[in-house]
Chains A and B, each alone.
Chain A
Amino acid sequence: MWEALQFEFMRNALMAGVLVSIVCGVLGTLVVVNRIVFISGGIAHAAYGGIGIALYTGLPPVIGAASFSLAVSMVMGAASLKSKQRADTIIGVMWALGMALGIILIERTPGYNVDVMSYLFGSILSVPRLDIWYMASLDLVVLLVIVLFYKEFIAMSYDEEFSFVVGMPVRLLYFILLAMISLSIVIIIRVVGLILVIALLTIPPYIAEKYTTSLGRMMVLSCILSIIFTLTGLWVSYRFDLTSGATIIMVAGLAFFVSMGIDSIFSAKKRV
């Protein structure tokens, strides 16, 4: 294991894993308690359209995906506020449209030689230095926003109506949250790919929620769990030569079922 650290790509992978886990833990917590898992999935998949645009026009893929998913998240957010009844349909349509756009544009890109699979399933082992910097600055921004507006985010997440009544800008907070999610999804795609983003955003907070009594602690525990899953997955994939993104998700999924199993044993005991 340790000899692997001699390679720069392995050190980058470790750093990427930790940095991505931090945004996943913090924002994933808000995704879970605000029940916006579906919209997050929509943003992640629609981001493929942004990658397609970037490759087709020669822009850096990170920039393309980031700006496109940011735009998509704002439209989805507006749709979810405007027509609550049909928001899921609208999000579903944009989800598929984004992917379709990406597929066509990547296909039409002359002489492209990018490994498309790496966007779908991630490639933590080939994260360049530049992306590490992008991840680190995003972590900083997200942490700053959450620390600064912690009590407002709790209020909005717990009781949106009351927060509105006492004059909190709940809509603005909601859009800020979506913006942070869409920018983060771009870097999470680097690690586990856009198809698996949702797992890393939701599994650690889901487990953490059961063992914590405040949103802040839930965020911290989610980050720790996420780091454990990512690094364990990375090690297993290295050791057994498996696809890294999928292995990370398998580790997280295994923990998910173990935690559910422990719960059902405990609740069965309580009933007896």
Chain B
Amino acid sequence: MKPYAIEFKNVWFSYERTEVLRDISFSLSQGEFLGIIGPNGGGKTTLLKLMLGLLKPEKGEIRILGQEPNDASHRVGYVPQNTDFSQAFPISVMEVALMGRLSRARIGKRYSQEDREKVRNVLEKVGMWEYRLRPIGKLSGGQRQRVFIARALATDPEILFLDEPAASVDPEFQTDLYDFLKELNKTVTIVVITHDIGVVSSHMKSIGCVNKHFIFHEGGQITQEMIDMAYQCPVDLIAHGLPHRVLALHEEE
């Protein structure tokens, strides 16, 4: 059997003394398309950083494709939430996308022709090839987002993580983006953090809701109940801070 794409076993995490994630356990199969929703400060980005190995759990165990997160680093792609850092940095679209071809095994070597071909391919996919020589700081938020998606794809990931990919994107590209991800999902496991519950219900195969606890729905198709949950979950959490209500609903089914 294929190892799980993501596996959490009783994972806890705190910043200083503030508990952020409490006793999280779940496993996500390969080929899934997981949407993670939840209120601001609920721990969505922390959860993602744990999966990427950027943070270490306080307690518990995390496996990515059956490996330690840091060992699986060359098998995952990552699109950060903020893409507007270092606007003045002198770097072209091409160079940013090429970063996706970095690997530990080839430190100290130049990018190969194959790397450049691959990057051309992904930049064309996101429609940014003709901008390849532009400085990244001169692009619009949406264009920059596309470049960062291309960079993540250039790593040839088995799992693609995206943190709020639609945050700085024009509405038109947002629709394109999810159609694009859906297509990509035929070969790649995708994990998306998002605020957009509508998108979750229409595009994603499974839904996780995080607010210190993690409630997870895995399943083939989206049921009415899941849509209800997707809509209710963050609303309830923000309004009453009662994540257990959702859990209760889930257990009743």
Contacts and interface: CB of A to CB of B under 8 A. Distances in A.
Interface of A: 33, 148-149, 151-152, 154-155, 157-159, 161-169, 209-210, 212-215, 217-218
B162 interface: no
A214 B90 contact: yes
A168 B104 contact: yes
Given A158-B86, A214-B91, A163 B99 contact: yes
B104 A33 contact: no
Interface stretch (B24-32, B33-41, B106-114, B227-235): B106-114
Interface in B63-97: 70, 73-74, 76, 78, 80, 85-86, 88-92, 95-96
Contacts of B76: 165
Contacts of A164: 53-54
Interface of B: 52-54, 70, 73-74, 76, 78, 80, 85-86, 88-92, 95-96, 98-100, 102-104, 107-108, 110-111, 133, 135, 151, 155
Contacts of B70: 167
Contact of B103 (A162, A166, A209): A166
B18 to A, nearest CB: 15
A165 B54 contact: yes
Contacts of B110: 151
B132 to A, nearest CB: 12
Contacts of B133: 213
B98 A166 contact: no
Contact of A162 (B91, B99, B104, B108): B99
A155 B100 CA distance: 10
A215 B98 CA distance: 14
Nearest to B151: A162
Contact of A149 (B74, B86, B96, B108): B108
Given A152-B107, A167-B74, A214 B102 contact: no
A163 B89 contact: no
B89 A165 contact: no
Contact of B90 (A149, A151, A166, A213): A213
B91 A166 contact: no
Contacts of A162: 78, 80, 99, 151
A214 B53 contact: no
A213 B104 contact: no
Contacts of A151: 98, 102, 110-111
Nearest to A168: B102
A163 B100 CA distance: 9
A7 B221 CA distance: 85
Nearest to A148: B108
Contacts of B78: 162, 165
Nearest to A145: B108
18 contacts: A33-B89, A148-B108, A151-B110, A158-B89, A161-B54, A162-B78, A162-B80, A164-B53, A166-B74, A166-B99, A167-B70, A167-B73, A167-B104, A168-B107, A213-B92, A214-B92, A215-B90, A215-B91
Nearest to B105: A167
Given A158-B99, A163-B99, A213-B90, 18 more contacts: A33-B89, A151-B98, A151-B110, A152-B108, A154-B91, A154-B99, A158-B89, A159-B85, A163-B102, A167-B102, A167-B104, A168-B104, A168-B107, A169-B104, A209-B88, A214-B90, A214-B91, A215-B91
Nearest to A208: B90
A164 B69 CA distance: 12
Contacts of A166: 73-74, 99-100, 102-103, 155
A152 B88 contact: no
A164 to B, nearest CB: 7
